[in-house]
Amino acid sequence: MLDTAEIVALCRAEHGDPYAVLGMHIDADGGLWVRSLQPGALSVVVVDAKTAKPVVALEARAVDGVEGFFEGLIPRRRTAFPYRLQITWESGVQETDDPYRFPTVLGEMDVWLLAEGSHLRPFERLGAHLCEIDGVAGTAFAVWAPDAQRVSVVGDFNIWDGRRHPMRLRRECGVWEIFLPGVSAGAHYKYEIRSHAGHRLPLKADPYGFEAEMRPSTASIVCALPPPVDPSSVPAGDLLGAPMSIYEVHLASWRRADDGGFPDWQRISETLIPYVVNLGFTHMELLPISEHPFDGSWGYQPLGLYSPTARHGNPTGFRDFVAACHAAGLRVLVDWVPAHFPTDEHGLGRFDGQALYEHADPREGMHQDWGTLIYNFGRREVSNYLIGNALFWIERYGIDGLRVDAVASMLYRDYSREDGQWLPNQYGGRENLEAVAFLRRMNEVLGQEHPAADTHAEESTAWPMVSRPPSMGGLGFHYKWNMGWMHDVLDYMTKDPVHRKYHHNQLSFGMMYAFTENFVLPLSHDEVVHGKGSLISKMAGDYWQKFANLRSLYGFMWAHPGKKLLFMGGEIA
């Protein structure tokens, strides 16, 4: 029989190795035991899964006033066999498969690839995956939390009780796993984590969750991993010399639904796609569509990197929207935010009780301006999480390219920091060498796996060779946003025409460096937000003259070397 201390640890959700004691086990004398933790159950009977006949009624053992633990010796049997549990509750009788009779979820190769941070597609193994094991349908859960003392899956299938489904730790890679029979698509879940210090943390959403609840709710939702997109359905890849005219759009505010809420993916497809096509744009760039808790961030503080936001419907709807864009000849770019993440308690911050995805030292791990956390790019599991996410959007949703947000904040350790508020790199410099290595690796992987996919850098400094291959010492992006051109030209256009003859250098200076990078000329959302006003309001003159000036600006922009990007609303001029 099981030791009293272990029973108490199980019943208090403090046991770190539940698979060592729960389920079916052979003792030193060859006896076959079954143990189960079922808080609130009246009785538990073991049933032979093949014959459907009862085998033994487990004995309830209450220890130190703690109840819910059952165990029993299987009579006349010495070898393990498939079984089910017949559980009697006050509300009735339930028959279910025991999660603790199933083998491991992760294969040995997966474990070692995850351990060394080299699994290109970790989303295929981590997260919640609908599957069958030994002919039983259910969901396999796996989450990386190496410093945790105990991790449990909680959800609407187990009344959010962390005692019921504690997970198995694969110590080689720090991943906890469990297969839960009968859990199907649509189930809501989170992870309950007990830190190494013994503290129970706020419930955490799944970092690899493929679907999330509509805010303000924050649970992850069991959802089938989208199948790979057929490459033949995607428009042909861009050549650097081909025309590129990008319409940048924030889906939640481009047009409201009839009831004033968020339009669903079908409505967006029916209205936005023909509008953009008729204007002659070649690309549509979406502000971040990963799940995010705060509407006002416009998606730039994401927490569900693998979940299309629930504001517009389910993941299938987004996949259909991308397919509809492709059918209309539009390529789709998505803003991608690997630079930082918010501190909401259900997110990645101190995920297992320690700084896991972020740096522990706030001089490296906290953005002063935004109050957000910075990824620890030097940790292979973290960089792999992000690179896998880049592949995920391209392979599973057919996204044609990624615009990487806030690259400058990634490249410099002293970004927006005063002296004494940042730590130098190993050579004493201000460059974030780990972030540089991450960006190069990300672009290399995408280039090898999906040569037709584009990456665009929002980078506002003089960092050299942003859009040159890593083999040449570059960062490996296909394009860089030309922020200098944007600032100079907009400043010029705000001046009254009578004064412009003294400032023509603001128009001509861009040609001095126009071919040092593969530039995109961006009149983006950044020029509208934070009280900056619309493009029309920046122009000189009265209302008629403002429109004339803005048309002149667009003529200059479309004739200037560089790809073109215009934020929604700007086209009204």
**CB of 489 within 8 A of CB of 273?**
no
Give CA–CA dist 35/19, Å, rounded: 10
Give CA–CA dist 567/455, Å, rounded: 18
**3-class SS at 147?**
coil
Give CA–CA dist 542/496, Å, rounded: 11
Q: Which residue has the tokens 């050299």?
A: 464
69 membership: H or E segment, kind and range: strand 66-73
**CB of 538 within 8 A of CB of 573?**
no
Q: Which residue has the tokens 């935010």?
A: 337
- Burial (CB < 10 A; 0-12, 13-18, 19+), residue 221, is buried
Mark whether 458 is an active-site residue. Answer: yes
R_g (Cα) of the chain, nearest Å: 28
373 membership: H or E segment, kind and range: strand 372-373
List CB contacts of 171: < 8 A, sequence separation 6 or more.
Answer: none
Give CA–CA dist 79/86, Å, rounded: 21
**CB of 183 within 8 A of CB of 218?**
no
**CB of 535 within 8 A of CB of 573?**
yes
Q: Which of 177, 352, 458, 527 is catalytic?
A: 458
Q: Which of 177, 405, 434, 459 is catalytic?
A: 405
Hey, which residues are catalytic here? Answer: 405, 458
